[in-house]
Copies of this chain bind each other. A is one copy, B any other.
Amino acid sequence: MDTRVKTQATLDLGAWMTGHLERIERSLENWVSGCAPNQQDHGAPAKLIDAMRYAVLDGGKRLRPLLVLAAWETVIAETGAQACGPGTEPYQAALRAACAVELIHAYSLVHDDMPCMDNDVLRRGKPTVHVQFGEASALLAGDALQALAFELLTPEVGIPLAQQGVLCRLLARAAGSAGMAGGQAIDLASVGVALNEAQLRQMHRLKTGALLQASVMMGAAFAEISESAQRALQDYGAAIGLAFQVVDDILDVTADSATLGKTAGKDASQDKPTYVSVLGLERSIAYAQELLEQALAALRQSGLRQTTALQGLANMVVRRSS
């Protein structure tokens, strides 16, 4: 939250992120535009593709894809594999998984913003998809982005068949009624309702946490690691998943709309329960810090040797200002 605090880890992270982010953006662009109507034997109408592109491109911190790639690097390092740079097939496979998670995240934002849900008009500083393209196109663009995520994970060539099913399972569970969609349903049912901390945690564990944790586990699915290392990464994912939401709630009251790129103060005005409303601002800030420490402790206890990027991303989640 204090962007002036730059530890060594976050400084290193900047360099690490730059190359990955560029490839993530380029891949998302290619894959979403790969449905373009000027291609042979493909008939998706231009407006649908435009709405999908608008929803996915030119915005977003890409936290979930970065988590996939960071976890992937961590487990690949354990295998002693060399030369898994950007041009290699293993990297391209991980990049597909990274972008698939981002497509699910992007579709969820499109649907969440719709009038029957949060009815928001501003996202990443731009009009939301339904404002720009109409509600029907927003609905269909979200639906098509979810399908595209699973298509990305199941190429004829590019991800070993043995891993495709595992990746789809992790993503489907995190996106569905036991994950993101379920959390959003609890969120809707909680307007004006006083939740206790346990109920609030459960809501956010599903709504935001499940997909962030799945990002870590999808990256980790590309190599065999010990069960205890698996559990440690799960704990890491759970801690940053929750931390992300606590910080979101803090920023909703401390930041302005221009910084956030979305409507600030929205939760309070909609009478939604948040960490700030349940714990108060000061205890929420302390809780975010505690979750960061839990995440870093899980990495230390994992026995995994190369966790710098995962450490840096955990720091970024808690220290972000938007």
Contact = CB atoms under 8 A, between A and B. Distances in A.
Interface stretch (A169-177, A265-273, A309-317): A169-177
A206 B44 CA distance: 8
Contacts of A140: 111, 181, 184-185, 188
A47 B185 contact: yes
Contact of A181 (B108, B134, B147): B147
Contacts of A175: 143, 147
Interface in A185-218: 185-186, 188-189, 202-203, 205-206
A153 interface: yes
Which of A107, A136, A147, A188 has the most C-beta atoms of chain B within 10 angstroms of its own C-beta? Answer: A147
Nearest to A176: B147
B139 A151 contact: no
Given A182-B44, A185-B47, A189-B47, A177 B162 contact: no
Contacts of A161: 161-162, 165-166
A144 interface: yes
B177 A48 contact: yes
Given A154-B166, A156-B169, A143 B48 contact: no
Interface string A80-114: 00000000000000000000000000011001001
Interface string A10-39: 000000000000000000000000010000
> How many interface residues does chain A have, given as a range?
35 or more
A244 interface: no
B139 A44 contact: no
A5 interface: no
A153 B166 CA distance: 10
A45 interface: yes
A169 B186 contact: no
A134 B151 CA distance: 30
B186 A43 contact: yes
A136 B43 CA distance: 30
A136 B188 contact: yes
A231 B61 CA distance: 44
A177 B107 CA distance: 13
A184 to B, nearest CB: 6
A166 B162 CA distance: 11
A52 B44 CA distance: 28
A135 interface: yes
B48 A185 contact: yes
List the 10 closest A-B pairs by CB distance, nearest first: A164-B165, A147-B176, A116-B135, A154-B169, A44-B182, A151-B172, A144-B181, A48-B185, A150-B172, A44-B177
